[in-house]
């Protein structure tokens, strides 16, 4: 499941729109119990939240978030505080954010912390194709992805980072998420 930190308080119809549009594609069979009516996302709204197993497709009411005005760096810091048991339910290396623009443009923000490999001259290279001495460098990427493509995009970031569609890339920073 993908962890979603919401930085605004979604209304019931906004969550339903996202969770139904970005649900498992019908042709996906390897995702577990498809009889489960819940989408493959966990809506995180509070630092004290303890249940990360799932979020229903239809919320009973609006959920107030405790993450208003939180930076992406602060949201990532929160994901690192999850217990081992909580991390079993979510992909914490990649997280998604529903922001105020999401309801209007029907796009979710993905934040991904990864690595890139750099030659001594600063050139970023594909690790698998070089035998030169390379340095690993942390890289943060921010993507804005349409709801319809969110499930597949998130899976690619989780399983095969580096193979994601660069058309959705909005920003890249190094060393920290500050500035995304």
Q: What is the pLDDT of residues 131-168, one digit of tens each?
A: 778 888 888 889 999 999 998 888 888 777 777 777 88
- Report domain 2-113+139-174's class: alpha beta
51-108 tens-digit pLDDT: 777 777 777 777 778 888 888 888 888 888 888 877 776 666 778 888 888 888 999 9
Residues 109-148: b if buried by 16+ CB within 10 A, e if exposed: bbbbbeebbbeeeeeeeeeeeeeeebeeeebbbbbbbebe
pLDDT of residue 165: 73
Q: What is the pTM for the complete model shown?
A: 0.79
């Amino acid at each position: 499941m993908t962890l979603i930190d919401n930085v605004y308080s979604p209304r019931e119809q906004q969550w339903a729109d996202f969770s139904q549009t970005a649900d498992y594609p019908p042709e996906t069979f390897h995702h577990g119990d498809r009889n489960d009516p819940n989408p493959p996302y966990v809506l995180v709204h509070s630092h004290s939240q303890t249940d990360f197993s799932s979020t229903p497709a239809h919320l009973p009411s609006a959920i107030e978030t405790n993450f208003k005005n939180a930076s992406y760096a602060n949201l990532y810091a929160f994901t690192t505080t999850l217990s081992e048991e909580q991390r079993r339910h979510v992909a914490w290396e990649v997280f998604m954010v529903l922001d105020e623009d999401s309801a209007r443009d029907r796009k979710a923000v993905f934040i991904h912390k990864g690595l890139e490999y750099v030659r001594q001259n600063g050139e970023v290279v594909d690790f698998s194709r070089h035998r030169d001495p390379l340095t690993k460098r942390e890289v943060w990427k921010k993507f804005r992805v349409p709801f319809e493509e969110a499930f597949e995009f998130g899976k690619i970031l989780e399983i095969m980072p580096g193979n994601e569609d660069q058309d959705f890339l909005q920003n890249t920073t190094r060393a920290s998420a500050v500035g995304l």
